[in-house]
Structure 1
């Protein structure tokens, strides 16, 4: 009975809120002379703050045509804008900026959806050692990270030197498929200096530097023990594949919309995703040093804390993750 009353109360609250929301929309339009789309576009700057509100407005519209606008093909965006303007009874000649703003946001929405499909396709494509393109990407990864050390053979213990688990890296790509290899190769090729530095530090780990306050609170014995303890490293390639999974989960959950809507003025694409991976890889490396774990068994704990930190950052609609690598031509900043 108690559960029934609680459910009933929630139902009436939903009806009340829905009715109140529609009433407020109606009154606001009458007072301002502008529909919700106009208010969003005129009162919010370009980027995630505007596009997220437009996306939500379209999804929860009473009109099926408006709801379907977020699922159109890129080639149909301009025609869709005409439909929206007509349904909202907005004269495009007297509101030219509205059409431009709607078009930019709709391209971002459509682009994000297409990016999810493209990334998912790569993730589902297994690494195939019989595919010469796959093999060439893998060998290029080795040559980029270890140019001074030729491979003794395709199957070799040398792969462990760049952080794979065994003699044949193909087994490590089972979880993320070709996506894991592509992100690692992009990092190595487009931000080689940072990739080599992260690889070097993962093999020869170092403690983070203690602040003056921390040092003052340590006894001499603790300080000496900290200096003598060996910092914990990690497997570069395996962690890279793991961070690829983190970036993928942020993308699929929609958490990356904030970042991508703020940095891609039109349609987010695979390069935006790969550069996001580069940022996450470097930031995780810094985070690992800050956490200074006791052993590699703490990896999942550290990763989870890092994941939550990134999620918190992305809740800010003005947030754009800021990669510190020269390959970026996007100049990503916190807006």
Structure 2
């Protein structure tokens, strides 16, 4: 690893070059995919949350919102019946009113433009990373060139990839649930906000932990977290954060990628504030999600640049 300060990064099955070193793993066991999961570089038995576990947790959360949506549906049916049967000018028709289609002051109806942009994101989510695909290989090479413009491009399987925060010499084994979109997110970050990207890649901000989170794999986890939080694998988002995200799509086709960059900065800020270590990564990711949901709920936020945490990208 080539970095300005001496820090150790944890690689599964190869801790600081000492393969037999024992580590306490209780914190690791609670991490969600794709950071965890048994890879070729980790032969230790590990308890892993499956995608089914994660979706079930999301479904429990969404049940809190069903009352709101059922009330909207019932009210719309009542308005339709009043208009058709009694006429909009009748006495009953004036008493039964259609809801404004908003929640906390924001319109949750989706325009054709928003629907098209949402569909584009969902199509991106369907693409798994394939290490044998030339386009995906080229994307990995592009990420390396953006991250290390002054270093020689390594082969697709090389120990040098660990410098970027992949868990082993073959980055393709680390994507799992993240998919190709997580690589696209990292490339977008490196190209759109190069200074912020380099500061995070090289851990230039604040006092760092001895055991730092692996940069690239952390990015995959952030992409994965955003997909869940925004409910992007539903036909149309029903979570409050997802509904607010639809507002972003009105103005910004790349809203998901921009939000990824903000979320990465938020995660690193949480990491430093908690003085966290690798074993606490899952806790930091959860607190990052909570903070991001709070910022998405702010009334005056209509795009990514309105988020208070967007300013972190400028530091």
Structure 1 SS opposite 2:230? helix
List per-residue Cα deviations over 1:226-250 (Å, max 9, x = no partner).
xxxx554211100000000111112
Map of 1:249-264 to 2, 5 A cutoff? 249-252=228-231, 254=237, 255-261=241-247, 263-264=248-249
Map of 1:175-254 to 2, 5 A cutoff? 175-201=177-203, 206-207=206-207, 230=209, 232-252=211-231, 254=237
8 A Cα contact 1:231 1:292, kept in partner: no
Distance 1:264 1:178, change over 3 A: closer
In 2: Cα distance, 1:312 partner to 1:127 partner: 31
2:256 matched residue in structure 1: 273
Unaligned runs of 5+ in 1: 1-13, 56-104, 209-229, 328-335
1:138 matched residue in structure 2: 140
In 2: Cα distance, 1:190 partner to 1:127 partner: 22
Deviation, structure 1 residue 132: 1.9
2:107 matched residue in structure 1: 51
Task: Pick the aligned partner of 2:173 from 171, 174, 181.
Answer: 171
List per-residue Cα deviations over 1:236-271 (Å, max 9, x = no partner).
10000000011111222632321441x3446x63x1
Deviation, structure 1 residue 136: 1.0
List per-residue Cα deviations over 1:186-212 (Å, max 9, x = no partner).
1011111110011111xx67438xxxx
Distance 1:152 1:277, change over 3 A: closer
8 A Cα contact 1:51 1:108, kept in partner: no
Cα RMSD of the aligned pairs, angstroms, is 3.8
In 2: Cα distance, 1:325 partner to 1:35 partner: 47
Deviation, structure 1 residue 139: 0.3
8 A Cα contact 1:159 1:169, kept in partner: yes
Task: Pick the aligned partner of 2:115 from 110, 125, 144.
Answer: 110
If the length of structure 1 is used for normalisation, what is the TM-score?
Answer: 0.57
1:305 matched residue in structure 2: 287
Deviation, structure 1 residue 48: 8.1
Structure 2 SS opposite 1:257? helix
The higher relative CO (CA closer than 8 Å, separation ≥ 6) is in 2
Between the two proteins, the alignment pairs up a number of residues equal to 225
8 A Cα contact 1:165 1:172, kept in partner: yes
In 2: Cα distance, 1:278 partner to 1:125 partner: 20
Report which of the two structures shows the higher radius of gyration computed on alpha carbons: 1
1:213 matched residue in structure 2: none
In 1: Cα distance, 2:97 partner to 2:298 partner: 22
Distance 1:239 1:29, change over 3 A: farther
Deviation, structure 1 residue 176: 1.3
Distance 1:29 1:285, change over 3 A: farther
Structure 2 SS opposite 1:118? helix
In 2: Cα distance, 1:146 partner to 1:36 partner: 60
When structure 1 is superposed on structure 2, of 299-308 and 236-245 the one drifting more is 299-308
In 2: Cα distance, 1:274 partner to 1:34 partner: 45
